[in-house]
Structure 1
Amino acid sequence: MAWFEIVALLGIGTLAGFINVLSAGGSMLTLPLLMFLGLPPQAANGTNRVSIVLQSISAVSNFRRAGASQFALSLRLAVPAVVGSLLGAWLALRVSDALFEAILVVVMLGAAVMMLLPQRAVDTQPLTPERLTPMVYLAMLCIGLYGGFIQVGVGVLFIVVLYRMLKIDLAQVNVFKVLIVLLYTLPALAIFVFNDQVRWSYGLVLAVGSMTGAWLAVKVNMGPQGALWVRWLTLAAIAAIIVRLLLY
Structure 2
Amino acid sequence: MLDPLLLLALMGVGLLAGFIDAIAGGGGMITVPALLAAGLPPVAALGTNKMQSIVGTLMAAITYWRRGFIDLHRLVAAAALTFAGSLLGALTVSRLDTSLLDVAVPVALIAIALYFLFAPRLSDADRAARLPFGPLVPLMGFAIGFYDGIFGPGTGSFFTIGFVLLFGLGLTRATGSTKALNLVSNLAALAVFIPQGQVVWPVALVMALGQIVGGYVGARTGIRYGARVIRPLVVLVSIALALKLLLFP
TM-score range, shorter chain: 0.7 to 0.9
Q: Is residue 58–residue 183 contact of structure 2 (8 Å, CA) maintained in 1?
A: yes
Superposition pairs of residues 1-248 of structure 1, within 5 angstroms: 1-92=2-93, 94=94, 109-110=106-107, 113-114=110-111, 116-119=113-116, 120=119, 121=121, 124-125=126-127, 131-134=133-136, 136-221=137-222, 222-231=225-234, 234=237, 245=248
Which deviations, in whole Å up to 9, do the C-alpha atoms of 1:151-199 show, x marking residues without a partner? 3221110122111111111100122111112223213202111111111
2 CA distance for matches of 1:240 and 1:5?
27
1 CA distance for matches of 2:53 and 2:180?
11
Deviation for aligned residue 1:3: 3.7
Structure 1 pair 104/21, CA: closer, same or farther in 2 (3 Å)?
farther
2:69 is paired with a residue whose SS is: coil
TM-score by length of 1: 0.81
Q: Is residue 23–residue 155 contact of structure 1 (8 Å, CA) maintained in 2?
A: yes
Gap runs ≥5 in structure 2: none
Number of residues of Structure 1 aligned to a counterpart in Structure 2: 240
Q: Is residue 107–residue 242 contact of structure 2 (8 Å, CA) maintained in 1?
A: no
Gap runs ≥5 in structure 1: none
2 CA distance for matches of 1:243 and 1:162?
26
Structure 1 pair 207/173, CA: closer, same or farther in 2 (3 Å)?
same
Structure 1 pair 74/109, CA: closer, same or farther in 2 (3 Å)?
same
Structure 1 pair 5/182, CA: closer, same or farther in 2 (3 Å)?
same
2 CA distance for matches of 1:31 and 1:154?
15
Residue identity matched to 1:9: L
The percentage of counterpart residues that share the same residue type is 28
Deviation for aligned residue 1:229: 4.9
Structure 1 pair 15/239, CA: closer, same or farther in 2 (3 Å)?
farther
2:194 is paired with a residue whose SS is: helix
Residue identity matched to 1:217: G
Structure 1 pair 241/139, CA: closer, same or farther in 2 (3 Å)?
closer
Deviation for aligned residue 1:115: 5.1
Higher alpha-carbon deviation: 232-241 or 51-60: 232-241
Which deviations, in whole Å up to 9, do the C-alpha atoms of 1:78-127 show, x marking residues without a partner? 121111111122134x379xx99x89975874465245313213573388
Deviation for aligned residue 1:32: 2.1
Q: What's the Cα RMSD here?
A: 3.2
2 CA distance for matches of 1:62 and 1:182?
13
Q: Is residue 29–residue 241 contact of structure 1 (8 Å, CA) maintained in 2?
A: no
Residue identity matched to 2:200: R
TM-score by length of 2: 0.80
Higher alpha-carbon deviation: 54-63 or 81-90: 54-63
Deviation for aligned residue 1:206: 1.8
